[in-house]
Amino acid sequence: MRASADETRVPAPDPGGRAGPTAPLLDFRILGTLEVLGPGGAALDLGSRKQRAVLALLVLNAPHVVPLDQLIDRLWADEPPSSATGTLQAYISHLRKTLEPHRSPRTPARVLRTREPGYLLDVEPGQVDAHRFERAAEAAQAALAAGDPAGAERLLAPALAEWRGEPLADLSDEPFAKSTIARLGGVRVSALTARAEAWLALGRAAEAAAEAEQLLARDPYREGLWGLLMRALYRDGRQAEALTAYQRCRALLADELGLAPGPELRRLEQAVLHQDESLPGPWPAGVPRPEEPPARQPAAGQTTAGQTGAGQMGTGQAGAGQVGRVLVGREPHLRRIGERLDDLGRGAGGVFLVCGESGVGKTRLAEAAAETAAERGVDVAWSRCVDGNGAPAFWPWIQALRALPGEPQRLAHRLSEGSDAPAAEGSADPDTARFLLYDAVARALAGQAAAAPALIVMEDLHWADAASLKLLTHLGADLHRVPLLVLATVRQEPGGGRQPFVEALGELARQSGTERMNVAPLTPEQIADYLRAAGRSAAGPELARALHDRTGGNPFFLGELLRLLTSAHPGDRVEVADVAGLAVPDGVRDVIGQRVSRLPEDTQTLLRAAAVIGRDVDADVLETATGIGGTRLMMLLEPAVATGLLVEVEGGWDYRFSHALVQEALYSGLSRRQRAQLHGRVGEAVETLCHGEVAARLPALAHHFGLAARAGYADRAVRYAVEAARQAGARLAYDEAVMYWEQALDACAAGPADTRCPILIGLGRAMRVTGDVVGARIVLDEAVTLATALGDDAAVIEAASVFGGITLWNWRSYGVVDQRMVSVLEDQLARLDPVAVATRAELLGTLGVELYYGERREEGRRHALRAVELARGLGDPRLLARTLNNFLIASQMPERDEERHRAAEEILTLPGLPRATELIARMHRMPGLLKWGRLAEYDAELARCLRMTAEVRMPEFETQVGFAATGRAVLAGDWAEAERLAARAAGSYSRTSLWGADALKLIGGFFIDRGRGLRSPLLPELVECGADESNLPLRPTAVLAAAESGDHALAHRLMDRWGVAMPRDWTWQFVAWQWGLVSAMLGRPDPEDLLADLLPIAHEFVTMGTGCVSWGTLHDVVAMLLHRTGDVEGARAHARSARDVHRALGLRHLERASASLLRRLGAAPAP
Amino acid sequence: MPRSSDPDPRREPGSSTLLLREVPAHLGAAPALLRSPLLVALREAPAARCRLYVLADVAAPAAAPPVAGALVEVGEPASGRSALLRALAVEPGHRRRGLGRRLLADLLTELRADGVRALRCRADPGDGGLAGLLERAGFTVTSHAASEYDVPNIRHRAVWLVREL
């Protein structure tokens, strides 16, 4: 079930896959000179003495792994490890060719295999003559003991015939061979003795006696042989010789060793003397075994072959190579994961974040979770996010969906192919498309999970692309009621990570199914457990402490350090002093660097090039990029696999760095120049290998060429980044699109204007979609400049009219007119071909918006109106929606509310409306509903907009709708809710670069405090913020705050300084209301003037812009102003109206305020 | 193996990215900058049996010349698998960096993996430090070359060196 999981810890493929014996069987013979007989029975050429020694070591340990370090230590102790490893590798490589001459270079070796921490000979015991012999010897002893001498003889005759001379005669002076030679010699003597016993039992006493004599000639101190000799001679009727034999033995033992013969021999002598017929039979078990068979060569670092030999030849021990496999100190984590998996059975899933520093063992936990899940019948899909930008958008999801059965697989295809909608280019509706896509994935997963609960493991979520993160948060909202658990590993970095990632974490945290689990480094006690579990039982607490000091308890670091120490001291035990004396600066990268430096130099070079490719290494790409052949590539990478730095990917010939830190350490060891060059070569390799099928490889191509741009690959860096940006846009991955456009821009640097200009336009458009309004402005301004300089009118129009796209708010900062853009637009309009009506409508609409904040506002409104007429004439609904929207912004004037309301409603009647356009039109319509007190309609629209925002998910909309919801809560007097919504809206606001975030936050905060009857602590901030000319709409709020706090002097000073302007723009009603409140208190600004403005609209409700602050009806302030000017009756009438309206709408706090005002008016005489 | 291994001095900044590559052994393919000793040798050698190895920087522009190279003639398997080192050259700008040693070591690995059992080389007096380089790499002098060089007052004479693999 696991897709592309980390193969390091997965056992080798099932031996069932190998039908019968691998190749025709080879016969390994060590009873004599080292020999290997091929399938035809001919001896193979085993090469030089060193090469034969390598093979001999592997044969002696088969089928267990012989660690690479041990091979080096045994055979090249005095050479530097780097060159010795190279030499060893050459021999291994050639031995493979000899042993499997017909294997194609890309088929994995089956006889001489690589397995961390070294190599093994994967053979059946029966393929080694020494094993056959020993087994026969044992069987013969058993037959003899069972009283079957004939059977014993039959077994021994062919077994003894296998001996061609001294074991490993050609390597007998190698220290590693000595103990084996001695042991096999001993077994042979036992076998010969057993055969002699069998002869004796079969009545062939003379032959037995002769054999015993021969054996004694070689080894005279074996009493058992003397006994055999005595019995054989006696049975052969040679009692005298039997007694002489006893005397010889006694003399020998006494002279040489000062011993007397043992009791058995003495008893035998007596029996001979007494002619005892019942002369003791064969010695129990023939002769004493010479010695306990010594442990097979390597003591440490042995691992079983995993398929053939385990059990037949004893099991290996956990050694240096396996230390990384132990999962210690994670019991609570595993328990919690188990509980969450149990929850799946109850239909509850969620997002489970496993967080911790790099190397702390997050992936190990994820693997344990996957194993547990599989045991419980939960489907497991494994996916991995990739560092850098080399992977396509949605990559982790594509992997996960592919790994699950059923409907999700089809969705994987949709994610990787993208939708057909030419989204993000402005023509279709990107937001709907994206929502539908996310929704389809969510439904497919929910459907599949309902059929069979599932676990999706997502490794390295911190590297996920923004599109994938958005999909995760979209999905996460519902997971608490879907039996699907997404377990993601997250690397914690001090900086917190990239923006989309931080946002996603924030959003996930608010979802009820999300849980975050931190994985801490190991304590010294846990390290002690770890060492015990790794078979280093002798390790004391001091060693654990020393290792903790060095590694900070990071398990990966710990494993690497132990491997390095084991390499440097093979066979020895690692001591505290070794750890303390290690001349490394603390840091796992240095440890990895030292391990790498022990490999052959060409291997090091290849690893560095591989690190540029990434954590996953495509062997074809590496081969093409470095220009060496596949066979040699595999040979050179072998030692890296054997030492565990690389792992082979199952079912292919690709590789993968065993840990991200290994790849990072190698990559960081390269200079910038080297990286750039290598990225260029890798990019070229990818390009060559995709044979024109570029689409799937665009992210990788853009990534590699982007990083190689400064090394002469700028053209391709630009080209692929642009293509990748377009592709990301088409796949609804807008943040990625921005990233690729930026990359393209960066790569073309000071490139020609005609290259740069379209990139700037693409970037501006993509930034606009993601909500980065200011960024888009800057970029598009530059595009206009460049296009103007180029005389490219089409490009100028394209860039300039992006500003006239459909929005709720004016893009410009408050009060700013971009004169340059105005003249650009006017210039284009003047020169425009009269037949280009649609373009004229776009330009006029845009110009209308651009003129809004200046003297020519009314002219702008007329331009926008004209644009609407042109669009209507063309009958193009999309253009009509756009121009109507232009009009809505260009005509934000107090007296135009009804016209604007109608315009918004007209947009909503248009066919095929993109979701975002619809949302914006509804939002344009809402303030009118509020002002006119149509609260039921307003609430219905607000609910609908909130729903749509959840679908469209652009920060800009989240902010705007959020503000509207905040204002509604203020109106209802639900202060806590208002505060919560305001904070949230402010949060999403900060992700856009729209104007006024701080000002709006302060205004909202002040009125919430005011509604609660608090003296707002925000006064100083309001005053400070108002000092900035661009925050003009905030000034009346600051003055009101000062006045209501009782500091009338300050209020006056502020009015002296700032004036009491009431620009007739979108802020007018809200500003006039506040001035009214101030005036009622201070008599300034002039109450009569304000009454003239406010009386006609006394029935309206107060609201600001999108509705971020909404207060009750203006009757209240009119009442106060009338009271101030002496019209007490009028004042009472308005206060009464206010109270009644507020009561009718159920606005309790406003009703109370109006009622209290009415009481005060009743009591107090006019001033 | 010293107890505390020294960090590789070339690791920062920029680790070594040199790699041995086999390139087609014909006159047209030989890298321009190596033409002197290698091409001369290639002209004299039976091209079909020759292998041209170069040590090149994989992190250098693709057009950059290799830093060192060697030409090896490999006998038929029947001939006991010995090879003849026909030429070995390090680019002048890259000498005294241990590249000759590196190239030779890589070469030995390559040949060994290919089952070659011995590498022979004739070092002439004009070959600079070649004989020394070979001797440091474990080559032993087997015989002095033909007698025409055997002039007593010439200290350096051409010698045959061999290294069992």
Identify the closest residue of chain A to B110 by CA–CA distance: A90
Q: At what angle do helices A68-75 and A49-61 cross, to 10 degrees?
A: 130
A597–B7: do the CB atoms touch at under 8 Å? Answer: yes
Q: Which residues, 6 or more positions from A643, have their beta carbon under 8 angstroms from its beta carbon?
A: A68, A116, A117, A563, A567, A595, A598, A599
Last-in-domain residue among A537, A561, A583: A583
Tell me whether residue A850 is in a domain: no
Do B8 and A593 lie within an 8 Å CB cutoff?
Answer: yes
Q: What is the pLDDT of residue A1143?
A: 94
State whether A608 and B17 contact (CB < 8 Å): yes
- Domain with residue A1050: its CATH number is 1.25.40
- Chain B, window 106-165: residues with a beta carbon less than 8 angstroms from a chain A beta carbon: 106, 108-110, 112-115, 117, 164-165
Residues of B in contact with A48 (CB under 8 A): 117, 164-165
Instruction: Tell me how far apart the alpha carbons of residues A190 and A144 are, in angstroms, rounded to a whole number.
Output: 12
Search chain B and give the residue with CA nearest A635.
B113
Q: Does A602 contact B12 at a Cβ distance shorter than 8 Å?
A: no
- The residue written with tokens 């961390």 in the block is A116
Q: Say if CB A394 and CB A733 are below 8 A apart.
A: yes
The continuous run of DSSP H or E covering A353 comes out as strand A350-356
pLDDT < 50: residue spans in chain A: 1-22, 282-324, 419-427, 583-585, 1166-1167
Q: Do B58 and A87 touch (CB under 8 A)?
A: no
Distance in angstroms (rounded) separating the CA atoms of residues A1130 and A1135: 9
**Identity (one letter) of the amino acid at B41?**
A
Q: Which residue has the tokens 């594509």?
A: A398
Identify which of B59, B106, B108 has the shortest CB distance to residue A674: B59
Answer yes or no: do A497 and A535 share one domain.
no
If asked whether residues A359 and A239 sit together in one domain, one would say: no
Please tell me whether residues A248 and A178 are part of one structural domain: no
User: A850, A1032 in Cβ contact below 8 A?
Assistant: no
Taking CA–CA distances from A632, the nearest residue in chain B reads B110
State which of A265, A286, A307 marks the end of a domain.
A286
Residues A155 and A245 in one domain: no
- The reply to whether A1093 falls in a domain is yes
Q: Which of A635, A681, A711 lies at the smallest CB-CB distance from B58?
A: A681
Give backbone dihedrals phi and psi of A352, rounded to 5 degrees, phi first: -120, 115
DSSP string spanning A577-642? Answer: HHHHH----S-HHHHHHHHHHTS-HHHHHHHHHHHHH-SEE-HHHHHHHHT--HHHHHHHHHHHHH
Residue A133's identity, in one-letter code, is F
B62 touches chain A (CB under 8 A): yes
Contact list in A for residue B82 (CB cut-off 8 A) is none
CB A640 within 8 A of CB A647: no
What CATH code is carried by the domain that includes residue A346? 3.40.50.300
Kindly state the helix (H) or strand (E) to which residue A818 belongs, with its residue range. Answer: none
> A782 lies in a domain?
no
Which of A674, A679, A684, A707 should be substituted to probe chain B, the one whose Cβ sees the most B Cβ atoms within 10 Å?
A674
- Are A42 and A98 in contact, with CB atoms under 8 Å apart? no
Q: How far apart are CA A874 and CA A1037, in angstroms?
A: 46
Domain range spanning residue A242?
223-286
Q: What is the dihedral of CA A811, A813, A819, A825, to 10 degrees?
A: 0
Q: A677 and B109: CB-CB below 8 Å? A: no
C-alpha dist (Å) from residue B45 to A138, B2, B86, B123? 61, 44, 8, 16
Put simply, the answer to whether B1 touches A568 (Cβ < 8 Å) is yes
Q: What is the pLDDT of residues A1034-1084, one digit of tens each?
A: 999 999 999 999 999 999 999 999 999 899 999 999 999 999 999 999 999
Best mutation target among B104, B109, B165 (most A Cβ atoms within 10 Å) is B109
The SS3 call for residue A546 is helix
State the pLDDT at residue A513.
86
Count of domains observed in chain A? 5
Of A131, A156, A47, the C-alpha closest to A96 is A47
- Chain B: give the shortest CA distance to residue A53, in Å: 13
Q: How far apart are the first and last CA of chain A?
A: 84
Q: What is the pLDDT of residues B133-162, one digit of tens each?
A: 888 888 988 876 554 445 555 545 678 889
One domain, residues A179 and A300: yes
Virtual torsion, Cα A819, A824, A825, A829, nearest 10 deg? 140
Which of A94, A581, A594 shows the shortest C-beta gap to B115? A94
Q: Across-strand partners of A1110? A: A1103
Contact A793, A831 (CB under 8 A): yes
Identity of the residue in B7, B14, B15 whose CB atom sits nearest the CB atom of A594: B7
- Evaluate whether A590 touches A560 at the Cβ level (below 8 Å): no
B46 is written with which tokens?
A: 């039976």
pLDDT reported for residue A307: 35
Q: How many CB atoms lie within 10 A of CB A606?
A: 28
* Residue B15 DSSP label: -
Residue of A nearest to B118 (CA): A48
3-state secondary structure of A391: coil
The CA–CA distances, whole Å, from A750 to A745, A767, A1046 equal 9, 21, 59
Minimal Cβ distance to B19: which of A602, A669, A677: A602
* CATH number, residue A166: 1.10.10.10
Query: Which H helix or E strand runs over A570?
Result: none
Inspect the interface and report whether the beta carbons of A582 and B108 lie closer than 8 Å.
no
**Residues of chain B contacting A627 with CB distance shorter than 8 Å:** 21, 58
Cβ of B61 within 8 Å of Cβ of A711? The answer is yes
Distance from CA of A562 to the nearest CA of B (A): 14
What residues pair up with A450 in beta bridges, in sequence order?
Answer: none
Question: Are A571 and A514 contained in the same domain?
Answer: no
Task: Clarify whether residues A129 and A260 are in a common domain.
Answer: no
Task: Check B112 against A625: CB less than 8 A apart.
Answer: no
Distance from CA of A362 to the nearest CA of B (A): 30
Which amino acid, A110?
R
Output the pLDDT for position A588: 77
3-class DSSP string for A519-532:
CCCCCHHHHHHHHH
- Residue in A581, A593, A601 nearest the CB of B7: A593
DSSP sequence for A1000-1049 = HHHHHHHHHHHHTT---TTHHHHHHHHTSGGGGGGHHHHHHHHHHTT-HH
Say if residue A387 is in the same domain as residue A509. yes
Distance CA A462, CA A467 (A): 13
> What CA–CA distance (Å, rounded) separates A615 from A601?
21
Superfamily of domain B18-164: Gcn5-related N-acetyltransferase (GNAT) (3.40.630.30)
Q: What is the side-by-side strand order in the sheet with A655-657?
A: A616-617, A655-657, A646-648
Same domain, A493 and A509: yes
Nearest to A48 among B14, B58, B164 (CB): B164
Q: How far is CA A406 from the centre of its chain?
A: 25
Neighbours of A677 (CB within 10 A): 26
How many whole angstroms separate alpha carbon A575 and alpha carbon A531? 12
Q: Which chain B residue's Cα is nearest to A624? A: B58
Nearest CA in chain B to A712: B61
Please tell me the distance in Å from B163's CA to the nearest CA on chain A.
12
Between chain A and chain B, the number of residue pairs with CB atoms below 8 A apart is: 124
Q: Which residue of A has its CA nearest to B3?
A: A568
- Considering CB atoms only, which of B3, B102, B113 is closest to A581? B3
Helix boundaries (H) for A851-909: 857-874, 877-890, 897-909
Residue by residue, DSSP assigns A100-118 as STT--TTSPPSSEEEETTE
Cβ-based neighbour number of residue B15 at 10 Å = 22
Chain A interface, best mutation among B12, B19, B20, B81, by max A CB count within 10 A: B19
**Domain final residue, candidates A518, A539, A569:** A518
Lookup: tokens for A960: 């705007």
Give the minimum alpha-carbon distance from B49 to chain A in angstroms, rounded to a whole number. Answer: 19
Inter-chain CB proximity B19 and A670 less than 8 Å: no
pLDDT at res. A497: 67
Q: Cα dist. A1136→A1110, A1113, A1146 in Å? A: 20, 11, 15
Instruction: Report, in this order, helix, strand and coil percent for chain B, each rounded to 5.
Output: 30, 30, 45
Same domain for A559 and A422: no
Same structural domain, A474 and A564: no
Each residue's pLDDT tens digit, B93-107: 888 888 999 999 999
Residue with tokens 């999905």: A475
Specify if A160 maps to a domain. yes
Question: Least CA distance to B22: which residue of chain A?
Answer: A628
Q: Report the distance separating Cα A992 and Cα A957, nearest Å.
A: 10
The answer to whether A559 touches A321, Cβ cutoff 8 Å, is no
Q: How far apart are the first and last CA of chain B?
A: 23
SS3 call for A309? coil
CA distance linking residue A153 with residue A204, whole number of Å: 12
User: CB–CB of B117 and A597 under 8 A?
Assistant: no
Beta bridge partners of A657: A646
CB A1137 within 8 A of CB A1115: yes
